[in-house]
Structure 1
């Protein structure tokens, strides 16, 4: 799976915002690799540079030098809604009667189509097919007749779905998190200003200090001179729908998301995996890189229970091979797995092995890895997964396979094990996810593993008590 986007916004007192934004986007590169962009404002006009590609390819020194102003927002994108082209690259900018507007969006709206039709009927002209432009136009409409905070509150009441936003209205930078808090957003302090970012790792990259997470339904408004910020709690929902996969896979291990260090959360998930599905083997080894913290916690819990399991690196990663999940054909995905991960024979040969990964999507990688380990002489290969079976698509902004491509959809755990070829297979339960994250089960979005979603979506069920209109995109 691929995360959709990373957003960042800064307001500084005495230096240009472009270079700090550039560094922050580097720290968020794992959240999107298709395009990168920065918009700044110098107090008089807006400056923008948006290009396809990685951060390092999208900007050169001249680009950074031309982005004047001490306030700005940035974005890295992996698209889940809209085309893969510059029309949908972000930050998205519009000019209107009440000034200029820039917007960076992480997430996915479930009512973008209906809202786009409504706005188009009112005369709004769209230049892209992405849902970010829909938010921008709706906010611009509300700003014509309302103050900034009221306009944002009206837009929040209109758009439905997941979103963390870094917004710039003229030279004022805002951060907004959707009422369910599905996508992460945090606030940090620098020596000369403040920063909003999808993950705290971006704040660390700027030598800043994490203040806290932006709360679900909260609007943060940074002072243009970098001297402070305002907080406006626009809604206070009974339950949140925080995406549990941020801790399982998407976020950097060194980021703190919703008050919990991701690395420690993954170790706790690994410990829970041992408690639920532990099996004594000679070696416990991770699928690099995201399986490493799970395997560490799993092995530690196993040895605390009186075992003597060895934690070892048994697969070496070739970092110059692209992501197997986005290879266009099944044959290419299978070939790429063998290029990307190579087993260490001495760690595996003649031994029983527990292989630990964060998730199984299509099953291609898991099947190939189990086969590889058997080929180099593993006596047994037991697969343990640090999340529940993925049985449904995500509509909240994660690039995930369709239901008929998900190996666990419509299959039992034993049937999945037979396809993959492992000697045994065990997943982590939703209850253990909630325990490890110290979060109530009803405050987590687990639509991809339960098929129950925080918003009503055509053809899908919802577990929310609040009734909402069913809206198709």
Structure 2
């Protein structure tokens, strides 16, 4: 797993995972709609982008490094023929940062052609890889997506499509949402605990699968529903419908609570909840739990905006005179990477991205609302910025619990040594970032705002207990898991 990348450390954020899409249409090429959908999912990964299509006779592929607009030109899209297609935007949490790990991953074998896009992270990839290597499989990358592709290809030589997918699901453990092409058939698969999101949408001439409903909106399509945990959805080749197969069932889910807090677009619906409204409700809970009667409440853009809006609304309902205002201006032309040759430049890099609006903060007490604190570097610099702009007091409020443990489910969130909350109290963190006060939102308030029980959410990064068995870590469930070496039933 790749953790603690230096460019992300500058802005002290958990890093987006990946985004997947799958499209099956009646009588037009899938490449251009898939390309547009990837733009809607760009926030989920900026390292690489790719599309695989199938025209009924052969598979076509294009992958490239960088943003969607950098990875494709018009000719690249036009060359991808066929009514069936899948796409991927990637940020690596397992595997190298090079074109060999860009997705979709494609493989041709005796049973046809496979393309596979993966959002998530397997916790037993090395084990399954070793088993497949012993059986003669040769790997071209160190990513876990290739492990899934090889296992599925092997199973397709021995079984029909649905039992082959079921075998693979019983062998791989961890988080995954997959879009797959098997020749010109498009599939969607979600892990049995539903850790990673996946939705199904209907178009006038076909169906689409995507990590978030915002991608369906780009087509002018209608959200049908979330793909259920442990479900395989098979889109019809003519775009006229889909088949559903519930292959694995678990008593509880483990939806990633950080999708609601930070990762998903606010206009997306994730597991039947509109993310924007969840974030506003988190902000309301934040006032109830730890409101401070300051002059102004402001968000850290962009993800803190809905939190701060809900916080201010609840404060005003409670009779507080706190005002909601934008106090930080974001430079949208600073990407995730830029030249930072010295340590002092890296420490001041946040000033290139965020600048205070002096009239909002000067001579006033300020409450700064954000979604999370990872390493503490950005929070410290933002508090300094606001004080330099004339703020009398700076209170920091966070719409999630303290992050005390790493994520093994597909978020690049840093190691325990880098996490500021791993070994410090809230008071010590407040002192370290220079805030007059600091409060986090407790987990029970988060679950209440999301409308799900703690048993149905993955909160390993704040509890240290994970929904899957991870070497050296505790699990919050005792479900027995099949041995990967045991043969699966057809």
- TM-score category of the 2 structures, normalised to the smaller one: over 0.9
Distance 1:325 1:156, change over 3 A: farther
- Displacement, 1:322? 2.6
SS at match of 1:8: strand
C-alpha displacement of 1:81: 0.4
Aligned counterpart, 1:361:
374
Partner of 1:250: 263
Q: Does 1:33 align with 2:67?
A: no
Aligned to 2:208: 195
Whole-angstrom distance in 1 between the partners of 2:17 and 2:175: 11
Match of residue 166 from structure 1: 179
* Cα deviation, residue 323, structure 1: 3.4
Normalised to the residue count of structure 2, the TM-score between the two structures is 0.94
The 5-angstrom pairing of residues 235-246 of structure 1 reads 235-246=248-259
Does residue 364 of structure 2 align to residue 343 of structure 1? no
CA distance in structure 1 between the partners assigned to 2:307 and 2:267 by the alignment: 14
Alignment correspondent of 1:289: 302
Contact 1:13–1:193 (8 Å) recurs in 2: yes
Q: Tell me, what secondary structure is at the counterpart of 1:168? A: strand
Identify the residue that residue 3 of structure 2 maps to in structure 1. none
When the two chains are superposed, the root-mean-square deviation of aligned CA atoms in Å is: 1.5
Please tell me whether the aligned partners of residues 195 and 203 of structure 1 are also in contact (alpha carbons under 8 angstroms): yes
Shift of 1:96: 0.7
Give me the whole-angstrom Cα distance separating, in 2, the residues matched to 1:399 and 1:126: 24
Are the aligned partners of 1:101 and 1:168 in contact in 2 as well (CA < 8 Å)? yes
Q: TM-score, normalised by structure 1?
A: 0.98
1:414 aligns with 2:419: no
* Structure 2 SS opposite 1:300: helix
Q: 3-state DSSP class of the match of 2:100? A: coil
Distance apart, 1:334 and its partner CA: 2.1
Q: Distance in 2 between matches of 1:256 and 1:167?
A: 22
Partners of 1:329 and 1:120 in 2: how far apart?
43
Task: Confirm whether residue 16 of structure 1 aligns to residue 29 of structure 2.
Answer: yes
- The answer to whether the aligner puts 1:157 opposite 2:170 as a matched pair is yes
Residue by residue over 1:374-431, the C-alpha shift from the partner in whole angstroms, topping out at 9 and shown as x without a partner, is 1111111000000000011000000111110111111111111110110000000110
Answer whether contact 2:50 2:89 (CA < 8 A) is retained: yes
**Number of aligned residue pairs:** 471
- Secondary structure of residue in 1 paired with 2:348: helix
Aligned to 1:183: 196
Q: How far is the alpha carbon of 1:75 from its aligned partner? A: 0.3
What CA deviation, in whole Å up to 9, does each residue of 1:336-384 have, x standing for no partner?
1111111111110111110000000010110001011111111110000
- Structure 2 distance, partners of 1:205, 1:336, is 33
Query: Shift of residue 4 of structure 1?
Result: 1.3
Whole-angstrom CA distance in 2 between matches of 1:319 and 1:227: 41
Q: Which residue of structure 1 aligns with residue 396 of structure 2? A: 383
- Comparing 169-178 and 369-378, the one that deviates more: 369-378
Tell me how far apart the structure 2 counterparts of residues 117 and 228 of structure 1 sit (CA, whole Å).
38
**Counterpart position of 1:120:** 133
Q: How does 1:429-440 map to 2 (within 5 A)?
A: 429-440=442-453
Question: What's the CA shift for 1:309?
Answer: 1.1
Partner residue in 1 for 2:247:
234
> Is the 2:171–2:483 Cα contact (8 Å) retained in structure 1?
no
Is residue 268 of structure 2 the alignment partner of residue 268 of structure 1?
A: no
What's the offset of the Cα at 1:65? 1.1
**What is the CA-CA distance between 1:3 and the residue it aligns to?**
1.4
Q: 2:78 aligns with which of 30, 47, 65?
A: 65
CA distance in 2, matches of 1:359, 1:63: 39
| Partner SS for 2:306 | helix
2:387 equivalent in structure 1: 374
Is the counterpart of residue 445 in structure 1 residue 489 in structure 2?
Answer: no
3-state SS of paired residue (2:130): helix
Secondary structure of the 1:466 match is coil
Determine if contact 1:324/1:336 at 8 Å carries over to the other structure: no
CA distance in 2, matches of 1:327, 1:291: 26
Structure 1: unaligned runs, 5 residues or longer? none
Decide whether aligned partners of structure 1 residues 388 and 326 sit closer, same or farther in structure 2, where only a CA change above 3 A counts: farther
Contact 2:50 2:88 in 1 (8 A): yes
Q: CA deviation at 1:333?
A: 3.8
